[in-house]
Amino acid sequence: MITDHLSFTGKVAIVTGGATGIGYATALQLAKLGASVVICSRTVTELEMAATQIAMDSGSQCLAVPTDVKNEDACIALVQKTVDTFGRIDILINNAGGTRMGPLESIPTKGWDSIFDLNVKSAYILTREAGKHMIAQKSGAIVSISSGAGVNGVKGGAHYSAAKSALQMFTKVTAAEWGKHGIRANCVAAGAIASDRVLEAWRVAGLDMDAMSSAMPLRRTGTPDEMANMIVFFASDAASYITGQTISVDGGPSLGGIPDA
């Protein structure tokens, strides 16, 4: 049964951006299923509060490690702290990411580089560093969080769309190269997931959440927990024969053609 493969007892997981939204929901699910979890973000107070709450709600260990994932030395230190504390790394969730929207003609080079550093380079460094330990132990699961922008593109987000598309291809190549070591790598592309920070970003950008969700087959936005369900599945032994894939959690495809009655 699938439930037999959803235990994470004895496993250690790193979740970047784990203090809020999708990252928090994922870390909490992993912890409730038995994993020892390391969460990171830049905001120390928020991060420590999240770790305390996850530990209280799950009964599992949750370690907070303040980290700027755009800083290579900080990423290396995060992985080393995890190994020093728990002795291993079984799961890496590359969740930290984000963007600031803007028309292509006004995106500065610094802004382009910053979005790639946050969404792609950080995942590369963490995958490389965690991968050293996974290769040595001949097992591991890596799940990176992409976006519908990486699948279909989004106007006003040329840098973000390109970065998330690159993350998906990086995931595919990682899976191809490291499958021989017993390591799986997959991607989950988020659609309109209504976390607090996404809702605020939509508000600032002047986007109409109700209008966006009305065009989706399921007629609503998603929740961080619904994203976490897919992420945890990919990280689990239930997905033991799935690697190199990107799956969208987006409420379904919006197609043209005959309008709904």
Question: Would you name the residues annotated as active-site residues?
Answer: 160
Decide: helix, strand or coil at residue 241.
coil
Distance between CA atoms of 209 and 260, rounded to whole angstroms? 20
Decide: helix, strand or coil at residue 96.
coil
HSE-up (13 A, CA, CB side) for residue 223: 4
Distance between CA atoms of 242 and 116, rounded to whole angstroms? 27
Question: Nearest Cα to 15, choosing from 103, 101, 90?
Answer: 90
Q: Residue 196 corresponds to which tokens in the numbers above? A: 């607090």
- DSSP code, position 259: P
